[in-house]
C-alpha cells in the first residue's frame, strides 16, 4: 500500500511539474504573440503600403495558425479548425480596415498623422536605424524618423484601446474569441 502511494505521489509531482512548464510556455507564447502583433503594427505604419500588405497577410495567417493550433489541441478535424481560424483572420482583417478608416477621419487629440513625404517602403533598414540613433544623418531626418516611430507607437496604443472597446465585442458576436 505504501509503495503504491509513493508511486502515485511521484506521478502527481511529475504531472504538476509538467503542467507548470506548459503554463510557462503558454505565457511565453502569448507574450511573443503580443510583441509580434505590436511590432507588425508599428512597422506597417513606418514602411507604408508594403508594410500594410504584410500586416494584412500576417492577420489572416495568424488566424489560420490559431485554427491549426486548435485542431492539434483537439486532436483532429484540422481542416474545419483551419477554416474557422482563417475566417476569424479575415473578419479580424475586415474590422481592422474599418477601424483604420475611422482613425483616418477622427483622430484622438495627440495622435497626429505624420507624413514626411518619404516613401518609407524604399528606405534601407540601416538608414532608419542610423536615424533613430541620430548618427550619420541630418537632425531634421532624425526627427522625421523618430516622429514616424512615435506616431506608429501611439497608433498601436490607440488601436489596442479600440480593439478592446469595439473589435473584441464584435468578434465575440461572430463567435470568435
DSSP per residue, 3-24: HHHHHHHHHHHHHHHHHHHHHH
Query: What is the CB neighbour count within 10 angstroms for residue 13?
Result: 10
Q: For the whole model, what pTM was predicted?
A: 0.54
Residue 22 lies in a domain: yes
Distances in Å between the Cα of 83 and the Cα atoms of 53, 73, 137, 169, 172 are 21, 15, 48, 21, 17
Residue 127's pLDDT band (cuts 50, 70, 90): low
**Residue 107 pLDDT:** 47
Residue 109 lies in a domain: no
Short-list 159, 171, 160, CA closest to 88: 171
Residue 9 lies in a domain: yes
Residue 86: half-sphere exposure toward Cβ, Cα within 13 Å: 6
Residue span of the structural domain in which 153 resides: 2-102+115-173
Average pLDDT in the 157-167 region?
72
**Residue 126 pLDDT:** 61
To which residue does cell 505624420 refer?
A: 114
**The three three-digit cell numbers of residue 27, written as one number:** 505565457
Total domains in the chain come to 1
Residue 107 lies in a domain: no
**Residue 116 pLDDT:** 46
Is there a contact between 94 and 108 (Cβ–Cβ < 8 Å)?
no
106-124 pLDDT tens trace: 444 444 444 444 454 455 5
Residue 140 lies in a domain: yes
Backbone torsion region of residue 123, taken as left when φ is above 0, otherwise alpha when ψ lies between -120 and 50, otherwise beta: beta
Rounded distance, CA 120 to CA 81, Å?
A: 37
Mean pLDDT across the chain, nearest whole number? 76
Amino acid at each position: 500500500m505504501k509503495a503504491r502511494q509513493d508511486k502515485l505521489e511521484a506521478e502527481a509531482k511529475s504531472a504538476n511539474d509538467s503542467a507548470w512548464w506548459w503554463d510557462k510556455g503558454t505565457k511565453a507564447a502569448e507574450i511573443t504573440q503580443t510583441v509580434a502583433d505590436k511590432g507588425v503594427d508599428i512597422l506597417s505604419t513606418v514602411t507604408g503600403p508594403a508594410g500594410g500588405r504584410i500586416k494584412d497577410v500576417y492577420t489572416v495567417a495568424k488566424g489560420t495558425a490559431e485554427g491549426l493550433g486548435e485542431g492539434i489541441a483537439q486532436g483532429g478535424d484540422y481542416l474545419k479548425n483551419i477554416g474557422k481560424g482563417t475566417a476569424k483572420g479575415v473578419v479580424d482583417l475586415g474590422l481592422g480596415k474599418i477601424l483604420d478608416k475611422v482613425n483616418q477621419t477622427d483622430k484622438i487629440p495627440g495622435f497626429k498623422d505624420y507624413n514626411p513625404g518619404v516613401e518609407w517602403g524604399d528606405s534601407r533598414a540601416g538608414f532608419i536605424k542610423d536615424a533613430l540613433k541620430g548618427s550619420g544623418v541630418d537632425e531634421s531626418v532624425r526627427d522625421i524618423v523618430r516622429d514616424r516611430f512615435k506616431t506608429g507607437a501611439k497608433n498601436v496604443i490607440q488601436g489596442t484601446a479600440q480593439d478592446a472597446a469595439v473589435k473584441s465585442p464584435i468578434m465575440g458576436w461572430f463567435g470568435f474569441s
